[in-house]
Amino acid sequence: MRGLALLGILPIALQPAFCMPDASAGKKLFAAHCAACHGQQGEGGRGARLTSLTRASDDDSLFNIIRKGISGTEMPPAPLKDDEIRDLTVFVRSLQRDSVLPAANGQRGQQTYRRAGCAKCHTIGLEGGVLGPDLSNIGARRDPDYLRRALLDPEADIPESFGEYRWYTVIPNNFLQVRVTTHDGRAITGARVNEDAFSIQIRDVSGKVYSFWKEELKELHKDWDKSPMPSYRDKLTPTEIDDLISYLASLRGKK
């Protein structure tokens, strides 16, 4: 009987003990799997900012988002074990903080946005250009520090956000400036819309889309490390920069 009792206890003894989630382990996992898109401190990049989570109201929903990904977006299922996802969940929660907006005037920032010509390339709502990213909900996706860096040094995040084309990256989110010259002498600069082995589609700053067979082109240059967006470091005053950031940070899409 004593032997049978021990046999009954043995399976329980062999079961692994439940480990409490470890934020320090989650930090290492985040750096390896998440930071390239979401920023080292969750400030956002190609992926959404994680300092304020709108999709995950609790740890269970955050766990499921990390585990399963988000259908229809670039957010893939994490190639991690459940214990690792729990560690990652704890670390992502630790990134939560209130965005500190500069003491600025968003209404003046809206005027600066228009005066600086931002709408020539960017869309807010139904107005603006289409060469650059849509800014309608930029305040929900990027924190003020990221917005400041984008305005002062537009090419700072290109190596992480706009690297060479990969088959699993959606091209509009993998912006690339290209310059082409056709055999009949036309020269066009714009953003790559689509590309395969035989053809390429380009959108210029006016929004016009061109489609070429590559055999039609005399030259095709891909500016991997370049952005058509200028730096506003010397174009706007510090106050105007703060106002513009305040305005952009207030844009959160439809209520």
Assign domain 106-154+230-249 to its CATH superfamily: Cytochrome c-like domain (1.10.760.10)
pLDDT at 141: 78
pLDDT at 254: 64
pLDDT at 102: 53
Phi, psi of 128 (to 5 degrees): 120, 180
pLDDT at 15: 46
* Fold match between domain 20-94 and domain 160-223: no
List of the chain residues with pLDDT < 50: 1, 4, 6-7, 9-16, 159-173
pLDDT at 194: 86
Distance of CA 203 to the CA centre of its chain: 21
pLDDT at 99: 55
The DSSP bridge partners found for residue 123 are 128
pLDDT at 169: 40
Cα gap 64→62, rounded to integer Å: 5
Contact 247, 138 (CB under 8 A): no
pLDDT at 170: 42
Question: Class of the 20-94 domain?
Answer: mainly alpha
Does domain 160-223 correspond to CATH entry 3.40.190.10? no
| Domain definitions of the chain by residue range | 20-94, 106-154+230-249, 160-223
Q: What angle do CA 147, 33, 252 make, to 5 degrees?
A: 30
